Structure 1
Amino acid sequence: MSKPILFQVFLHDIQAQIIQIKMHLPASKSPRLLRLPSWIPGSYMIRDFAQHLHREVAFTTKQQRVVLTKETKNTWLLAPCEDACIVSYAVFANDLSIRSAFINDQYAFMNGTCIFLQVLDADEQGSVLNETGIQDAQPYHVQIMQNAYLQKKKWQISTSMKEIKHRPLDSGLLMGEYHSADYAELIDHPFVIGQLSEHTFMVGNTQFTMMFTEETQLDPTILMTDIQKICEHHFALFGAIPFTQYIFQTLVAQNGYGGLEHKNSTALLYPRAELNNTDPSKREGYETFLSLCAHELFHAWHVKRIQPSCLQSPSLSEEIYTPQLWIYEGITSFYDDASLLRSGVIDESAYLKILGQNITRLLRNPGRLDQSIAASSFDAWTKFYKQTPTSTHFITSYYNKGGIVALCLDIVLQQLSQGKTNLDDVMAKLWDEYGATGIGTEDDVIETLCSTHFGLDIRGFIQQATATGMDLPLSSLLQDIGLDITMRATSSVADKGGVAAKTTIKYAFGAVFTKMDLGVQIQSVYAGSPAHDAGCLPGDRVIAIAGWEVTMDSLHGILDGVNTASTSFVSSVPLTVLRDGRLLTLVLPIRDAIPDTAEVKVVDPALFQSWYQRSRT
């Protein structure tokens, strides 16, 4: 086995948001290539983490310089060295997200993909001799170094990486030391260092920790009870527990939302105002947090261990294209909310509200007719993760539509098998055949499993649902589980659907807005809408309609009122907008609002309950 490569992490310059790294390497008679990932597994976009590496220098333990040559945007060639050497570099940590690195006076957060360089054997031209991707069989150690500030603030470490126990910890110079078997493992365990709030509980023989970067308004007893139910649901679904410890690492912030999966942990970003489970007015925000936790925990099986074959050991230097992301993110998006209902964490009305909102989001997206979710998966790198104001016309979300496709697939499986097979059975078999064995999945894995193990031919449904832009037969399928969809016009700019509305708007505008101090700003315009035909563009600020000042709250009221006092129908009104410093008056056609908002209701309570209260046999 190769000698471990040691990374020492210093958090000395918090004000400058600099993390200093010293990388200790053994002697080598051959050149070595040092490589930093350009993207992080689970987030399919080239992020060029190397842009934040600075002051790279190499020297021996005898303080002699070693030639370190930058070869590409994310690789450096280290010259042969007869003695052990140290590569030193600084990382700028100012990305408050779950994908990169961030440090402030409260805590430091680090993903290995933007902190730790991979070491590869290379020839003199810098070409890798034996490319194995991130599964390189090279062990790595990480030391988090102590300093006076960290001691004074009583900062502590949260990570799922295996710890090397020291007694004492190097006379107070070392906060903790950790080890990984290879580079894939090294970058799969984020570090959070700070004054942390932690709550630990057991589910069977597995220890779970809820970690937050500050105290929150969450009642820990309620939180742990709810999370425990979700964990038990996932355990029962897959029939196996592939970890003994798991950490939910939550970065608490004023704004922001996100989650990124790892084998034994997840990194979450969530607004502090919504982390409250005692105030009924905050219930929706708390339920969304639970859904996020359920989503990322599900990925511990379905993404981190069940994986597309092409994503099992990538180099992380360039894009890896696959149409399978809907299988992973879409199915997980179905189970994140369904698991809350099935485990009793939320009630039927809460689930139906979420389902109605998801359907509304899909049907309001004209891009669903233009792009399939297989194509959305394939083009995630350049389209889904790099959206523009016009993206809604051309793309669909493999999360949103993928989750609804998974719901439909569950119902189709029950129809074809006369109630003997459902998506739970497919997921359990997916674990047995792929997750437990380490075999990667191919594009037709769902169809193959259903045919081979359950004798069900779902190729026609999968082709239509995932490879075309055709709308799903939602109404007829939901009837089979006791549900009914009603479509109506929206009630306001803020109406996301999912619940009944006392009143709805009469006339359409046809754009997505953001609130401004003066007027509202258009983010995107729906093709063929009144706003489109009026000549509105993304970035326009709508100031007035028919001479009346516009706000987020008043826009539709003004529009709906244009015909109340008129003896004849008013077919258009003047629309005042600011565009790039110019004041323009456009002509907005008056047209009826379209029914683009979904409500889902129970019409057969017994049938619906039998669907979500089922258990695997």
Structure 2
Amino acid sequence: MKKILGVALLLTLTMAAKSQVKIGFEVSFKEPQAHYAEVEMNMSGIAAKDYVDLKMPVWTPGSYLVREFGKNVESFTATVNGKPAKVQKVTKNTWRVFNAKAAALKVNYRVYAFEISVRTAFIDESHAFLSSAGIFMYPAGMIKNPSTVKIVPFGKWDKVSTGLEPVAGQKFTYHAADFDILFDSPIEVGNQDIFEFTASGVKHEVAMYGGGNYDKERLKVDMAKIVEQGTAIFGDNPNKHYTFIVHNYAQGGGGLEHLNSTVLGASRNAYGTEKGYKGFLSLVAHEYFHLWNVKRLRPVALGPFDYDNENYTTNLWTAEGFTSYYENKLLIRAGATNQATFLNDLIGGLGTVINTPGAKFQSASSSSFDAWIIGYRPNENSKNSSISYYSKGEVVGMLMDLEIANATKGAKSLDDVMKAMYEQGKVQKRGYTDAEFKAMVEKISGISFTNFWAKYIDGVDDIDFEKFLAYAGIDAKAEIASPNKPYTGATLTVTRSVNVGGVSRNSPAWFQGLNVNDEILALDGSSIGDEMRNIKLPNPGLTLESLPTIAKKQVGDVVEVTVKRDGMEKKISLTLKESPNVRIKASYNDNATAQQLAVRKRWMGI
């Protein structure tokens, strides 16, 4: 009994200490044109210690790369009792403030923010985007402490958009229950165009920066449909409000999920085309599906987070790959695409995996684990040795979905697995292990998935897509994409010179030693200037075999390539082969059986 009372007393004292510590931030912008945020951090109620360590995360959740946000911090100073305090930097992301057992301190620092992406802060004279993990510091050991954030907009800026909870009666002031929530809540400051819609009982705010040819009323309708289809899968929408922060640039892309918000990159003038509009809705569907998958239904390693180091998991093929898969399912269920496009999009993803040489060398689980060193840092050989957990996970999701639907004769699908895992996570209050996910798949389907896991998740077996698609009455086959056409396996980059940008495994360029960065001077004596005369640029898909001299040749012919490497000319003879890349053709079978039609209906959800 005494031991129990002692534990209870310790918990009470810990909670009391937590409640006594107050942490507040104020962010202002004295020089936004120079890309700086001014951060003031005030702490009070600190325990009597000689120093306090303040830490900046080295990465941001959802983007699996150590980005070293501390490199952007400068002019770090501290004040205790109105006097300057000693500061010592003790690690790459830790500043030690010696407060002489004082109960309060104030810290000021500047953050340089000039990297355009959905993962990193960016500030200029037109707006400020604060990716919170790269802006705010936390006291060591106090990750679960609450904090407030006050934004002081610059000049004529008059709007703030964020998923953080507003503090009543205090303009542009917000509350975070802990630092995990703060780091998961980006903030947009400026004059963004804001519109709202309600879906699944939740108010959604859309904050558009950068202008564009978007139609607000159309977006309200279509985005609401996507929200409702995602909610229908899981049975509830866990948010009180949700914020879309959309950055419209001349050429934009990408997205990053957060607990009750997302940041999307878009092209400002692409909304007016069918392809561009569908692409934006696909991005909306992907990031919104993350509201459940990753932010709540998550691999066990992804929370609580270690903000100092990598957080390894073998399950990004479910976290990201399945989300890529479900963006297609949400779109067709929302009426934003048709059955033909739905199938073509999935077949396109399948083709990407099959035609990536690295798919034969790296598994989905290994790709997930290596995200920190390969996924965001690909080099010229990555396509030959690795596979994206996005693309492989999307294919695995499709295969698993079809297998479950077929095993249950159309009664169940991957939807049922996702919902059951979501509910299980709410009960367990933690993430899932790979074994737990597999167990749920087997429970829902009623069959073993041991071989499936060995082949497609932990292994690199060829994908038997014909069998799986046939479950839904879809006829599919692979054929050579460019039969009898010459192929070198070398892609090109064009700047002031024409250089080799990539070499595919087991291609003529691979075997004969053509290197990435080799400057192409001539083909069979024809200067590269003559070869490029009628090539339209920019051309990101330019290959060596698309140049006139090689395009006229036959499979089996030899071409002499003159290159410059390390300042010296070199001649390399390539024997041209037929490309191994395949194109998958798939179509719905009009004579599908009753079970195939039941599987198809359950699979698509329409």
Structure 2 length-normalised TM: 0.88
1:575 to 555, 558, 561: 561
Closer, same or farther in 2 for the Cα pair 1:101/1:362, shift >3 Å?
Answer: same
Closer, same or farther in 2 for the Cα pair 1:365/1:3, shift >3 Å?
Answer: same
Closer, same or farther in 2 for the Cα pair 1:139/1:326, shift >3 Å?
Answer: same
Map 1:546-565; keep pairs closer than 5 Å. 546=524, 547=526, 549-550=531-532, 551=535, 555-556=545-546, 558=548, 561-563=551-553
Q: Does 1:292 align with 2:295?
A: no
**1:145-187 residue CA offsets vs partner (Å, 9 max, x unmatched):** 144x2x2xx4311101000132xx6xxxxx5100111111111
Query: Aligned to 1:444, what secondary structure does the other structure show?
Result: helix
Map 1:54-69; keep pairs closer than 5 Å. 54-60=74-80, 62-69=81-88
* Partner in structure 2 of residue 20 of structure 1: 38
* Partner in structure 2 of residue 157 of structure 1: 160
Query: Aligned to 1:178, what secondary structure does the other structure show?
Result: strand
Q: Does 1:244 align with 2:240?
A: yes
Q: Does 1:199 align with 2:177?
A: no
Map 1:64-75; keep pairs closer than 5 Å. 64-75=83-94
CA RMSD of aligned residues (A): 2.4
Map 1:377-526; keep pairs closer than 5 Å. 377-435=368-426, 437-452=428-443, 454-490=445-481, 506-516=485-495, 519=498, 521-526=499-504
* Partner in structure 1 of residue 208 of structure 2: 212
Query: Aligned to 2:27, what secondary structure does the other structure show?
Result: strand
Aligned residues of 2:474 and 2:588 also touching (Cα < 8 A): yes
1:119 is displaced (CA, Å) by: 1.3
Closer, same or farther in 2 for the Cα pair 1:543/1:225, shift >3 Å?
Answer: farther
Which is worse superposed, 16-25 or 415-424? 415-424
Q: Does 1:10 align with 2:13?
A: no
Aligned residues of 2:85 and 2:98 also touching (Cα < 8 A): yes
Aligned residues of 1:110 and 1:190 also touching (Cα < 8 A): yes
Partners of 2:245 and 2:125 in 1: how far apart? 18
Query: Aligned to 2:389, what secondary structure does the other structure show?
Result: coil
Partners of 1:370 and 1:99 in 2: how far apart? 29
Closer, same or farther in 2 for the Cα pair 1:285/1:599, shift >3 Å?
Answer: farther
1:487 is displaced (CA, Å) by: 3.0
Amino acid at match of 2:194: E
Q: Does 1:368 align with 2:359?
A: yes
Q: Does 1:344 align with 2:335?
A: yes
Partners of 1:556 and 1:563 in 2: how far apart? 11
Q: Does 1:590 align with 2:573?
A: no
1:531 is displaced (CA, Å) by: 1.7
Closer, same or farther in 2 for the Cα pair 1:563/1:379, shift >3 Å?
Answer: closer
* Partner in structure 2 of residue 126 of structure 1: none
Aligned residues of 1:465 and 1:472 also touching (Cα < 8 A): yes
Partners of 2:30 and 2:471 in 1: how far apart? 61
Closer, same or farther in 2 for the Cα pair 1:343/1:146, shift >3 Å?
Answer: closer
Amino acid at match of 1:429: A
Partners of 2:583 and 2:445 in 1: how far apart? 37
Amino acid at match of 2:517: G
Point out where structure 2 has 5 or more consecutive residues left out of the alignment: 1-18
Partners of 1:601 and 1:261 in 2: how far apart? 34
1:297 is displaced (CA, Å) by: 0.6
Aligned residues of 1:506 and 1:560 also touching (Cα < 8 A): no
Map 1:254-265; keep pairs closer than 5 Å. 254-265=250-261
1:481 is displaced (CA, Å) by: 1.4
Query: Aligned to 1:383, what secondary structure does the other structure show?
Result: coil
Partners of 1:613 and 1:417 in 2: how far apart? 13
Aligned residues of 1:102 and 1:108 also touching (Cα < 8 A): yes
Partners of 1:139 and 1:595 in 2: how far apart? 54
Closer, same or farther in 2 for the Cα pair 1:516/1:486, shift >3 Å?
Answer: farther
1:558 is displaced (CA, Å) by: 2.6
1:198 is displaced (CA, Å) by: 1.8
1:540 is displaced (CA, Å) by: 2.4
Q: Does 1:79 align with 2:98?
A: yes
Aligned residues of 1:56 and 1:88 also touching (Cα < 8 A): yes
Partners of 2:438 and 2:55 in 1: how far apart? 38
Partners of 1:561 and 1:78 in 2: how far apart? 66
* Partner in structure 2 of residue 102 of structure 1: 122
Q: Does 1:530 align with 2:550?
A: no
* Partner in structure 2 of residue 143 of structure 1: 150
Structure 1 length-normalised TM: 0.87
2:249 to 240, 253, 256: 253
Aligned residues of 1:27 and 1:85 also touching (Cα < 8 A): no
Query: Aligned to 2:442, what secondary structure does the other structure show?
Result: helix
Partners of 1:145 and 1:606 in 2: how far apart? 62
Which is worse superposed, 591-600 or 110-119? 591-600
1:514 is displaced (CA, Å) by: 3.3
1:461 is displaced (CA, Å) by: 0.8
**1:372-407 residue CA offsets vs partner (Å, 9 max, x unmatched):** 110111111112222110111111111101110010
1:456 is displaced (CA, Å) by: 2.9
1:257 is displaced (CA, Å) by: 2.0
Aligned residues: 570
1:447 is displaced (CA, Å) by: 1.5
Query: Aligned to 2:30, what secondary structure does the other structure show?
Result: strand
Partners of 2:248 and 2:456 in 1: how far apart? 37
1:563 is displaced (CA, Å) by: 4.3
Closer, same or farther in 2 for the Cα pair 1:562/1:513, shift >3 Å?
Answer: same
Partners of 1:246 and 1:609 in 2: how far apart? 37
1:557 is displaced (CA, Å) by: 6.2
**1:254-311 residue CA offsets vs partner (Å, 9 max, x unmatched):** 234211111110011222232x1x3xxx322221221111111111111111122222
Which is worse superposed, 46-55 or 306-315? 306-315
